[in-house]
Structure 1
């Protein structure tokens, strides 16, 4: 049984991650097209994914991870990682299945979770890291109001070469609801 809706955006519902989501999560994170936009470089086993889901459910890290659903079907995940409540800051991360790309779902999910971070968790800053070549993810952040703050040059090694990583940030008074 799917987890309950936690947040609703304009086009997506964000719900809790449950045990029955392990297969979807493992298959999608291992998809080469999805993985290419992420820092994940090693294959994720079913056991490793199950352990991650259990850690999310336990709340042991303080991070927030929610499944992105459209019409009840899981199409991705969005999360607040490295949550630092003391200073009100977290890193935003997200991914979608390739068949869900280009529909505005990532933008809606990012905006909805970022709004939650500012309004309900009272965060002051949310930031995100994105590979320089991932223009789709950069558009998601920019549509949500994030500003590019800088670049870590040759920050990540993948596909046989070093790649720049852009840092985007959003302060609580900068959230753009896209209206």
Structure 2
């Protein structure tokens, strides 16, 4: 895979761009919030060190083309409100997983749908992915609805897959094929690389 270090995607309201050190306080504010992390497979971040470590890892891994993680920045005020990721890229099978997180204050405004639409278009058109998968906590009904609005189909349910802070939870598995996304290709974002 090519380097993703300079990848930028633009939508009507958002700029999707690589994270940088200056984003650490905003990232920490987002991912230390128990409301945001309620359905994640990891606990809320206890210190800002997690944000610094994630950014440092991204700089190396994105340069090597191992995954794509882009910060979600509002164009109108420059505020970082979340991130979205294509990871576990399998070039031979043209497959990846998608992940995402959004600041609580930004929920319910369509930002994640807009961001994921751009990221999926990039994955299917620029990376020639054939399949994108998502693994969510099935209790997270908003996330399930978001995926379904994007065209994902529920493909499975894994019982008691995660244990986070002593709480056991299941996984809902979703998939989206290139053939299901094809009618939308080229209609969502502009690409700067």
**Structures share fold, TM-score greater than 0.5:** yes
Bigger Cα displacement from structure 2, 43-52 vs 92-101 = 43-52
Q: 2:32 matched to 1:30?
A: yes
CA distance in 1, matches of 2:135, 2:171: 6
Q: Which has the higher contact order (CA 8 A, sep 6+)?
A: 2
Residues 29 and 44, structure 1, Cα contact 8 Å, conserved in 2: no
Number of matched pairs: 177
SS of residue paired to 2:114: helix
- Following superposition, the deviation at residue 164 of structure 1 comes to 1.7
Aligned to 2:137: 131
Q: Is the 8 A contact 2:67 2:88 kept in 1?
A: yes
Distance, in Å, in 2 between the alignment partners of 1:101 and 1:134 is 13
Shift of 1:158: 3.6
The gaps in structure 2 that reach 5 residues or longer are 189-193
- 2:148 aligned to which of 135, 139, 142: 142
1:167 pairs with one of 173, 177, 180 = 173
Is 1:67 aligned to residue 101 of structure 2? no
- Preserved CA contact (<8 Å) 2:153 2:175: yes
Shift of 1:48: 3.2
8 Å CA contact 1:9, 1:108 repeated in 2 = yes
Q: CA deviation at 1:38?
A: 1.3
**Contact 2:42-2:164 at 8 Å conserved across structures:** no
Match of residue 191 from structure 2: none
C-alpha RMSD of the superposition: 2.2
Q: Does 1:94 align with 2:100?
A: yes
**Is the CA contact 2:43–2:164 (under 8 Å) kept in the aligned structure 1?**
yes
1:11: Cα distance to partner? 3.1
Q: 1:42 to 1:106 in 2, by over 3 A?
A: closer
User: CA offset at residue 39 of structure 1?
Assistant: 1.2
Q: C-alpha displacement at 1:10, in angstroms?
A: 3.5
Structure 2 equivalent of residue 47 of structure 1:
49
Q: Matches of 2:125 and 2:6 in 1, distance apart?
A: 21
How much has 1:47 moved relative to structure 2? 2.7
- Secondary structure of 2:139's counterpart equals coil
Distance 2:145 2:179 in 1: 20
2:116 match:
110
1: distance between equivalents of 2:113 and 2:127? Answer: 20
TM-score by length of 2: 0.83
Cα distance in 2, alignment partners of residues 165 and 122 from structure 1: 27
